[in-house]
Structure 1
Amino acid sequence: MNPLLVLAEHAASWRQAPLTEEVEHHARRALIDWFASLLPGCHLPPATLMAKALAKERGNGRAVSYVDGARTGLRHAALINGTASHTVEFDDIWRWGVYHPGCPTIAAALAAAQTRDLDMRALLRSMVAGYEVSCRIAQAVQPSHYDFWHTTGTVGTFGAAAAVAVIYDCDATQTAHAIATSATMAGGLQQAFRGDGMSKPLHPGHAAEAGALAAMSAKEGMTGALDVLHGPAGFAAATSEDTGKWEKAIAAIGQPLTITQMTVKNHGCCGHIFAALDATRDLQREHGFAAQDVAALHVAGYAATKNVCDRPSVTTEQEARFSTQFTVASLMEYGGVRLDAFAPERLADPKIRAVMPRISVSLDEECEAAFPGARSAKVSIRLNDGRELFRYQPTRKGDPDAPLTDRDLDEKFLELVTPVLGERPAKDFLRALWTGGDLPGELDLLTRR
């Protein structure tokens, strides 16, 4: 069995596959969630800096760069929008693959659909295909892939390639070559977000552009190595501990469709902290303590919670978004971890800084054994009055087994998008994303900066 050919056949079938009411609903949820993450990021670096750097190379086109509000070429829009959509860390998650599929897949698919002047249903079908291909590949190479690689930058390239191949009406053979070519352009290192810097959001932007290029080239006859996923020197062998768990990943194709099983983020930070935040929030609600009442708080979690998010000292927004200490302290003090949690005044807030040294993180073997299928944490709190509190959080609010409702998603969208578009335009845009048949086009962003 060649997994690439199986995935390509499945992706190509979505050129004409009927969208059931359930699948269309979940695909629209994914699109709404992507725009909720994208639009706040359009005003922030690195996307603003990249748009400025590339302005003279933009050229003509029909795809929309939401960062600078201009019509441009497919690859430029995919790159810039894919980068912007990952900046505020509110994008969706395929938990079994440790992967954010929306950023690279939708950025490329939407730019391609705009370029070809297609409708909403064509976009939604292409998204389903891109999610299916990339999420299954992510599942096949985890958990060891995540030791060194940022899955959204690597595997995201496959999602973009498959989605754009559907938009360009590639047959199964052309789609296979698009996926194969995209493999050799995949990249994204863990160190990019274990330290400081702006390059992490670039990963899905690059994936979106590279995947789009692979699909556009395959449509014109360019070929790739069709054993590139599972071969002895292929993608899985190079980026995971073996040549991939393909049988398990392929057997699960469409049962159910991955786009119906997404995690929708409920906090604006790294998802490896979410279980700890949920447990802390619930304990605080039940027992009525304030942040200053905490003598010590300990989070025991899986390896990524410890290795990526144990950051007792932070100086930048990037570091704070990946700090269990900062985000848990912020949650206890202000009731949530949303966009304002990382404003300069919050980063320097003495109340948060006073609590951070009381928070510690360790690896828990039970939580690690359940990863990546479950994202759990054990939170122990000792209060100044001597009370000892404990909560085992087996999953995260927003995961498929504890999903955000449509109303929750609407509230998230309006919270993040209203400051960008204004209240009435944000509500109108949300309604169009839920029910509209036309593709999203330009938005009035520049006048609100």
Structure 2
Amino acid sequence: MTSPKAHAADAAPSLTRRLVTHARAKASSGDDLALAALFVLDAVANTLGGRNSEAGRLLLRWAGNGPLAPASPAETGARAFLMGGLTHILETDDLHRASVVHPGCVVVPAAWAMALRTGASGAEFLRAVLEGFEVTTRVGMGVGPAHYRIWHNTATCGPYGSAMAAATLLGLDEDQSVHALGNAGSQSAGLWEFLETGAMTKHLHAGHAAQAGVQAADLAALGFTGPPRILEGDKGFFAAACPDGNAELVMSGPEGPWQLALTSMKPWPSCRHTHPAIDAALDLSATLKHMSPDEIHAVKVETYQAAEDVCDRAHATSEYEAKFSLQHCVATALENGEVTLASFSDEARVKAQRLASGIEIAVVDPYASAYPADWGSAVEVTLTDGAVHRAERSHAKGDPEAPLLPPDVVRKAVDLMEFGGVASAEELAEAILALPLSDRLPELPIFG
């Protein structure tokens, strides 16, 4: 016999259904679509730039070094996987602070692959991107800090957003979309253990999250059912993986702007947790540039707990570990006055190691209590003569409070695409920014 409690639960709309209803009903303006196009440009530039890396070349070998036609559902999922993996390699893709999710590397590949197959217009594609960002970040807003200490939020929350984007482009109704998100969420996975050795697994996380959503949406279109209470159910996502999660946060502030508008863009190719400290260190570098390393007595970085958990790495033994090292990032910023793709090479790590090895990391307020709403840091340099120089950041460059301007985003995108070997980078950037008025998506030279 079914209990009254079960009947009441069945009668109330599930959290997944409320998410779908919210995303579908939210109005989008021309400005929203234009901003979405800017984020798509950032993601695609990361995709193409990611080809010029060891992990990128391995992913291309997996794909057969030839075009993956978007004609069938299986090929669409494989294309989303490849694009997702490539997009997350260089560590310059976007980041949504409140959810600690990189939405672009999951949502844009899934939407792009599906839009190519369905023949969607640029505006239809961008609308799906807005909805995908909305869903994946809202799920992430509720998972809690304990989830993030073990689980990679982009991997676990990403499938919900890729499923939403794909479902929209397939024209699925609300019931079908709920099934798609239910089955996508049941594929949530992705652990931080890869950081212990600097393994390539993080790229797999983004690729799988993109592919899982595409496959779930395609199956839902055929009538394949999924659990409607995948988020809040007794054996659902929050119960399984979010010990201090708060499901109520998933639907908080529904009248606010699109979550895409609250997403940050990265100016530097390293973990976003290092960026507030990089920003502060670059400020100090102008003061210190005429000094020798021997004149620096001590360097202290003040930050929040998640930054220490993920990026406290005084001795980075690889390029990827250096991207997740507060010490290396701050040292190279102080010494060189810039942080670029070359700042993580073997030579750069050796050069920065002397200073990096002595940098102290401290979790203190106001940064500890402000996180995750605000990601801030301070860098304090004490010289051998006793002088102290300090710079503080409540936000990092690229946050909504200190956004990259469109010309800066275009310049970054062109540089990344040229790094990836794209000959016509400026033309491709223009085509992506013109998507709100385009009949179709431009071709991407993924295999170049």
CA shift digits 1:243-275 (9 cap, x unpaired): x42333313235111111110001110111111
* Equivalence for 2:285: 284
Look up the equivalent residue of 2:36 and give its one-letter code.
A
Contact 2:67 2:447 in 1 (8 A): no
Provide the C-alpha distance between the structure 2 equivalents of 1:6 and 1:158, rounded to a whole number of angstroms. Answer: 13
* Equivalence for 1:435: 434
User: How many residue pairs end up in the alignment?
Assistant: 433
Contact 1:58 1:72 in 2 (8 A): no
Provide the C-alpha distance between the structure 1 equivalents of 2:148 and 2:363, rounded to a whole number of angstroms. Answer: 16
With over 3 angstroms needed to count, the CA separation of the structure-2 counterparts of 1:302 and 1:111, relative to structure 1, is same
Provide the C-alpha distance between the structure 1 equivalents of 2:267 and 2:169, rounded to a whole number of angstroms. Answer: 31
Alignment of 1:43-442 (within 5 A): 43-55=52-64, 60-62=69-71, 73-242=75-244, 244-286=245-287, 288-290=289-291, 292=293, 293-347=295-349, 349=350, 351-421=351-421, 425-436=424-435, 437-442=438-443
Provide the C-alpha distance between the structure 2 equivalents of 1:345 and 1:235, rounded to a whole number of angstroms. Answer: 44
Provide the C-alpha distance between the structure 2 equivalents of 1:137 and 1:174, rounded to a whole number of angstroms. Answer: 19
Provide the C-alpha distance between the structure 1 equivalents of 2:68 and 2:260, rounded to a whole number of angstroms. Answer: 33
Structure 1 residues 269-278 or 282-291, which shifts more?
Answer: 282-291
Q: Secondary structure at the match of 1:46?
A: helix
* Equivalence for 1:68: none
Contact 2:422 2:445 in 1 (8 A): no
Look up the equivalent residue of 1:435 and give its one-letter code.
A
Structure 1 residues 40-49 or 302-311, which shifts more?
Answer: 40-49
Shift of 1:130: 0.5
Contact 2:138 2:249 in 1 (8 A): no
Q: State yes or no: 1:2 paired with 2:7.
A: no
Look up the equivalent residue of 2:95 and give its one-letter code.
I
Provide the C-alpha distance between the structure 1 equivalents of 2:220 and 2:401, rounded to a whole number of angstroms. Answer: 38
**What residue ranges of structure 1 are gaps of 5+ in the alignment?**
64-70
**What residue ranges of structure 2 are gaps of 5+ in the alignment?**
1-12
Look up the equivalent residue of 2:106 and give its one-letter code.
P
Provide the C-alpha distance between the structure 2 equivalents of 1:295 and 1:115, rounded to a whole number of angstroms. Answer: 59
Contact 2:428 2:442 in 1 (8 A): no
Provide the C-alpha distance between the structure 1 equivalents of 2:361 and 2:414, rounded to a whole number of angstroms. Answer: 33
With over 3 angstroms needed to count, the CA separation of the structure-2 counterparts of 1:381 and 1:270, relative to structure 1, is same
Q: Secondary structure at the match of 2:317?
A: coil
Question: What percentage of residue pairs aligned between the two structures are identical?
Answer: 30
With over 3 angstroms needed to count, the CA separation of the structure-2 counterparts of 1:304 and 1:432, relative to structure 1, is same
CA shift digits 1:308-357 (9 cap, x unpaired): 1111111111111101111111112222222111233323x3x3122222
Shift of 1:435: 1.6
Shift of 1:56: 9.8
Contact 1:60 1:72 in 2 (8 A): no
* Equivalence for 1:24: 33
RMSD, aligned CA: 2.3
Q: Secondary structure at the match of 1:201?
A: helix
Residue of 44, 69, 94 corresponding to 1:35: 44
Provide the C-alpha distance between the structure 2 equivalents of 1:224 and 1:446, rounded to a whole number of angstroms. Answer: 35
Q: Secondary structure at the match of 2:315?
A: coil
With over 3 angstroms needed to count, the CA separation of the structure-2 counterparts of 1:281 and 1:2, relative to structure 1, is same
> When the two structures are superposed, what TM-score results if normalisation uses the length of structure 1?
0.91
Look up the equivalent residue of 2:249 and give its one-letter code.
K
Shift of 1:209: 0.5
Shift of 1:233: 2.0
With over 3 angstroms needed to count, the CA separation of the structure-2 counterparts of 1:225 and 1:57, relative to structure 1, is farther
